[in-house]
Structure 1
Amino acid sequence: MRYRTIGKDPATRREVSVLSLGAMLFGTITDEATSFAILDRFVEAGGTFIDTSNNYAYWVNGTQGGESEELLGRWRRSRGAGDELTIATKLGGRPLAPSATMALDVEGLSAKSIRESSERSRERLGMEKLDLLYAHTQITSVPTQEIVESFAELVTEGAVGLLGASNHYAWRVAEARSLAAAAGLPGYEVLQYHHSYLRQRTDFPSRRSPDGQEGVLSGDHLSYLRSDPELALVAYSPLLGGAYVRDDKPLGSEFDHSGTPVRLAALRQVVKETGATANQVVLSWLIGSEIPAIPLVGASSVAQLDESLAAVDLELTAEQRERLDAAY
């Protein structure tokens, strides 16, 4: 395994594995025994960065979520896991009532919600201090100043270490970080977005985001990250649900544009040269990109996880990277 440091402050920064394990479906679709086996294998391989959220996975059984955090709490206690692991969770998107579909009425990011939800996450995870806490949603009428101050209070009190934002527009992230810096408060240091080798169209409307951009890493995000190399990028769903390697998992319409076949051709070329799988090439490309990303991978079996773990040791040549980057 390889590692990188996220965060600037010596009191809160963490050294994490360059591959993160997503626990979204642990405790619901992925049963407890399988989830424990995947977590054990990840740690055995040197993995130290695990991701969840307080609303995972409400849509599976029509709940408000929390099953993933609860399972991680049971696993941590049974294994005696401690500060050697970095567990990230999120708040803001938990439904106000049980829901089996996309919930529009969510807790949001008021000072009250941030405090109460973070306390419940600590209880479910069995942690006195959350290593990394993300603001999970930008659907809020709460003033940014209130959000910034509420998250900073948790850090000051020692209830949270690092702060992050997931699925926020670049301008919202910049606004929040500027307000925090001006007030001398801790701000977002980790950004989490949907990011992979293939590029998505951003002109598809959704129920949450009329311009289709919610969650997608955009050119604005990349420019912002490029301007501040100390920010860390976590890339969720980097393997597109298996679409790179499985014929029964076709790409969605968001990839229906002229650049997709060109990039797929370049990817297949590198796959042939390396003898690796397409998934492994994509993960290696993300880890070593100009703006390095920490891929956040899911796994429903130990075998799936092992494929992703092998990508950490895959070294693409400079020429291969240049060819992958240049494909449009």
Structure 2
Amino acid sequence: MKKVKIGQTDLEVGRINFGGNVFGWTLNQEQSFEILDAFVAGGFNFIDTADMYSYWVEGKGGGQSETIIGNWMKSRGNRDKIVLATKVGGETGLHPIDTSKAHILKTVDESLKRLQTDHIDLYYTHFDDEKTPVEETLSAYDEIIKAGKVRYVAASNLSPARLTASIELAEKEGLPRYQALQPHYNLVERAKYELEYAPLAAKYNLTVFPYWSLASGFLSGKYRSIEDLGKSKRGGASKKYLNEKGLGVLNALDAVAAKHEAALTSVALAWLLAQPNIGAPIVSATSTEQLQALFAATELVLDDQDLAQLNEASK
């Protein structure tokens, strides 16, 4: 199993990052355990969640995903084999976006309790309130890293300016430095990341873990018409891609997938894995069959013609 090193850390992860937003939402605890067991049985070790998951489910205030993962690690006794990422700062329905020191110090303990562990491997600033000084946020991280609660920190959904300011201040003042970046990036959402964030990832040696890697399932090919959107709870999120560009990307994926006798999902992820600085796309699955297509992406090598065809369709 090929693994990649995260930034300037000693963390090594497989090239698929399982997204835990489905735990407590589209999967109950028993189903979540089955998927997690299959994920690690496939040789993978990187699990991503957040304190806010799954607050959007009616009657839930967040923390369900962390709780399920914590219960699973305890029942399997495998915490030492998992690289665990969670996040702070997002809106949970109980509080707004908040990256203040007081909020971070309080929330990290709540996450640790739900996860039933004494440390988090990678702790993300999930969203940036843009009013808390970056020094305050980084000083909170400094405190919890020194306390052994967190090993390394990373960033998601920060503006390019705030991301740059955070890294430069960390390097100047000896504060914890972001080691990874979690942006919105996939074959139908390229421009913002490639223009604004890819240069920063290269400059600061940030390992990139894209979220919505399959565009909410659109790049799996199962949503090709308005009627198809009712196939799952997440189908509505693909409506915006049902246009000339989106369908053109699916046509290109169809062609490349047929050439390699692969699933569209595998091809879409293999394209991401071929991009500079990409460590492991964040993806979810609700069945072991879906997991196999994710795993296959790490073995699929796209040639220059494949990449050019996908790049042209998605530009």
| TM-score, normalised via structure 1 length | 0.86
Residue 43 (structure 1) aligns with: 40
Amino acid at match of 1:143: P
The answer to whether 1:235 aligns with 2:210 is yes
Residue 136 (structure 1) aligns with: 126
Q: Which has the higher helix share?
A: 2
Identity over aligned residues, as a percent?
31
Report the 3-state secondary structure (helix = DSSP H, G, I; strand = E; otherwise coil) of the residue aligned with 1:54: coil
Residue 260 (structure 2) aligns with: 274
1:63/1:275 CA distance change after superposition, 3 Å: same
The answer to whether 1:116 aligns with 2:106 is yes
1:7/1:200 CA distance change after superposition, 3 Å: closer
Could you tell me how far 1:96 is from its partner in structure 2? 5.6
The answer to whether 1:151 aligns with 2:164 is no
Select the residue among 306, 313, 324 that pairs with 2:292.
Answer: 306
1:70/1:156 CA distance change after superposition, 3 Å: same
Report the 3-state secondary structure (helix = DSSP H, G, I; strand = E; otherwise coil) of the residue aligned with 1:60: coil
2-structure distance, mates of 1:116, 1:231:
27
2-structure distance, mates of 1:25, 1:253:
20
Native 8 Å contact 1:286 1:293 kept in 2: no
2-structure distance, mates of 1:227, 1:258:
35
The answer to whether 1:225 aligns with 2:225 is no
Q: Deviations over 1:100-154 (max 9, x none)?
A: xxxxx51501111001101111111011111010011112421111111111222
The answer to whether 1:84 aligns with 2:70 is no
Could you tell me how far 1:290 is from its partner in structure 2? 2.8
Native 8 Å contact 2:120 2:150 kept in 1: yes
Counting only pairs closer than 5 Å after superposition, residues 177-326 of structure 1 correspond to structure 2 as 177-199=167-189, 217=193, 219-228=195-204, 230-244=205-219, 245-247=221-223, 248-249=228-229, 252=238, 254-255=240-241, 259-326=245-312
1:253/1:75 CA distance change after superposition, 3 Å: closer
Unaligned runs of 5+ in 2: 230-234
Q: Deviations over 1:209-241 (max 9, x none)?
A: xxxxxxx6351101212323x211011111122
Residue 14 (structure 1) aligns with: 11
1-structure distance, mates of 2:198, 2:27:
33
Could you tell me how far 1:179 is from its partner in structure 2? 0.6
- Over the aligned positions, Cα root-mean-square deviation in angstroms equals 2.1
Residue 30 (structure 1) aligns with: 27
Native 8 Å contact 2:15 2:280 kept in 1: yes
Pick which of 311-320 and 182-191 moved more.
311-320
| TM-score, normalised via structure 2 length | 0.89
2-structure distance, mates of 1:21, 1:124:
18
1-structure distance, mates of 2:279, 2:206:
10
Unaligned runs of 5+ in 1: 98-104, 202-215
1-structure distance, mates of 2:299, 2:23:
26
Amino acid at match of 2:303: T
Pick which of 73-82 and 266-275 moved more.
266-275
